[in-house]
């Protein structure tokens, strides 16, 4: 017999919204299960039951924005820490990329609940996604996410000679961090001192630790792509809206 699931979890599994959004909609009476309103948090459903949401929920969701930022060095992805400002402080009318093709107008209300979908270290730069849409956040950083991310990494070999081919193969598959094996990656040389990394996971300081494991020192790290969305010519410290035709 199939076990019942929390309604909010089931809604997230179906891609309707995030679990936090689901709880909000449930409490507002915007969720129906088999046609009946369910407004009690923690309610459970069976997988075969039909879940629908009020059009007010869909309208609210449509107003949520997703921002692409070229994060410079010196900013943290999330909450401020150790005196470093959060990346969201770079999002404002004055720092919007003048070539942003989106017809959307910036309003300070768009900063509410604008959270990073993934992280970049203080000393890393490049594409950072900030979103109000829980579906996008879950798609990019959920446990079952399969979205790949591409980085350009400038390195210096700490030993005589050049990185052996066997160690390049280890970077592609065979390394572990904190006792857990890493998923296969695609790592290849771009030029004499720069590697391209394509990953489908994002453990803390993962690329730097992978490089350290084979004797490479990271001199610079830049994220240039997340799924089908590229950093392109977006300047450092500027941002633009995710376009309606762009897909991660």
Q: Known catalytic residues?
A: 121
Say whether 129 sits in a helix, a strand or coil.
Answer: strand
Q: What would the two tokens of residue 20 be? A: 């936090």
Pick from 124, 128, 76, 70: which is nearest to 99 by CA? 70
Exposed, middle or buried, 109 (CB in 10 Å: 0-12/13-18/19+)? exposed
> What angle is formed at CA 187 by the lines to CA 185 and CA 190, rounded to 5 degrees?
155
Per the document, the length of the chain is 248
Residues 20 and 31: beta-carbon distance below 8 Å: no
Residues 74 and 125: beta-carbon distance below 8 Å: no
DSSP label at residue 115: E
Residue 141 CA to residue 146 CA, distance in Å, equals 9
Say whether 167 sits in a helix, a strand or coil.
Answer: helix
Distances 99 to 31, 102, 238 between C-alpha atoms, Å: 40, 9, 11
């Amino acid at each position: 017999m199939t076990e019942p699931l929390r309604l909010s979890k089931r809604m997230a599994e179906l891609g309707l919204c995030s679990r936090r959004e689901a709880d909000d909609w449930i409490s507002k009476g915007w969720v129906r299960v088999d046609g009946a309103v369910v407004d009690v948090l923690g309610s459970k459903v069976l997988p075969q039951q039909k879940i629908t949401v009020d059009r007010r929920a869909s309208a609210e969701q449509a107003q949520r924005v997703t921002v692409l930022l070229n994060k410079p060095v010196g900013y943290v992805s999330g909450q401020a820490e150790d005196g470093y400002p959060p990346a969201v402080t770079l999002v404002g009318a004055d720092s919007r990329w003048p070539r942003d093709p989106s017809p959307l107008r910036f309003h300070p209300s768009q900063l509410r609940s604008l959270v990073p979908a993934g992280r970049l270290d203080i000393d890393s730069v490049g594409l950072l996604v900030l979103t109000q849409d829980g579906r996008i956040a879950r798609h990019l950083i959920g446990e079952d996410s399969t979205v790949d991310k591409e980085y350009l990494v400038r390195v210096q070999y700490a030993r005589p000679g050049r990185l052996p081919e066997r160690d390049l193969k280890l970077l592609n598959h065979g390394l572990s961090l904190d006792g857990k094996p890493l998923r296969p990656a695609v790592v290849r040389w771009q030029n004499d001192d720069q590697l391209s990394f394509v990953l489908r996971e994002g453990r803390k300081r993962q690329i730097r630790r992978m490089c350290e494991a084979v004797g490479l020192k990271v001199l610079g790290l830049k994220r240039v792509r997340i799924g089908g969305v590229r950093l392109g010519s977006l300047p450092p410290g500027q941002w633009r809206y995710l376009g309606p035709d762009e897909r991660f």
